Amino acid sequence: MHAAERNNLLAGLSHADEELRRLAVEGVTQLPAAEAIPLLIERLADASWRVRKAAVERLAALPERNGAVNALLGAIADGENSGRRNAAVEALTGCGRSAVPQLLAALEAAEVDVRKQVVDVLGAIGDARANEAIARSLDDADANVRAAAADALAALGASSAAEPLRRACANDS
């Protein structure tokens, strides 16, 4: 990409016109992943849902998934911008099975909101590798994480989830 094209692309990301920002987001994937990922993460907080949606789609489709998933996990910890958080959850879900190992590791996060969102994403992805970790989340200190785990296990419908769900129902006030 020529310097002028790159400069136009970067300028388009902050343009006042929503459609130009959306088009710029679509073009960001022409940049190296290390440069594109942070730019796409920024656009997850865009005022326009169309721009956020384009960023979600681009992040979920990046071939360099590890970097995208790590950045998205950081974005779900954004306590200030619910639009960014929700868009990051959508993008993580779109990353699918390839994101599961990093999501499983993120279940150990100190932040309650991150753990809850990660459980939601794992439930939405529906990968059986997550069943045991989601079941362990039934014992989380936070009631919202426990509820999300119960919802995720019920949605997954795994027979191995029956006993942990029964135990949680009997023991969780």
DSSP for 115-143, please give it: HHHHHHHHHHHT-GGGHHHHHHGGG-SSH
How many CA atoms are closer than 13 Å to the CA of 45, on its beta-carbon side? 15
Mean pLDDT computed over 74-90? 89
Q: Model confidence at 11, in pLDDT bands (50, 70, 90)? A: very high
Q: Supply the pLDDT for residue 1.
A: 74
Q: Supply the pLDDT for residue 83.
A: 87
Q: Supply the pLDDT for residue 141.
A: 92
Q: How large a percentage of the chain has pLDDT more than 70? A: 93
What global pTM score does this model have? 0.88
SS3 65: helix
Per-residue pLDDT reduced to its tens digit, 89-137: 999 999 999 999 999 999 999 999 999 999 999 999 999 899 999 999 9
Q: Where is average pLDDT lowest: 83-87, 111-115, 164-168? A: 164-168
Kindly give the interhelix angle for 49-61 and 33-43, rounded to the nearest 10 degrees.
Answer: 150
Nearest to 43 by CA among 30, 61, 58: 58
Q: Supply the pLDDT for residue 23.
A: 96
DSSP state of 2: -
Nearest to 70 by CA among 51, 95, 50: 95
Displacement of CA 21 from its chain's centroid (Å): 21
Q: Where is average pLDDT lowest: 73-87, 131-145, 158-172? A: 158-172
Q: Is 69 left (phi over 0), alpha (psi -120 to 50) or beta?
A: alpha
Distance CA 54, CA 124 (A): 20
The token pair that represents 139 in the structure block: 């014992």
Q: Supply the pLDDT for residue 161.
A: 67
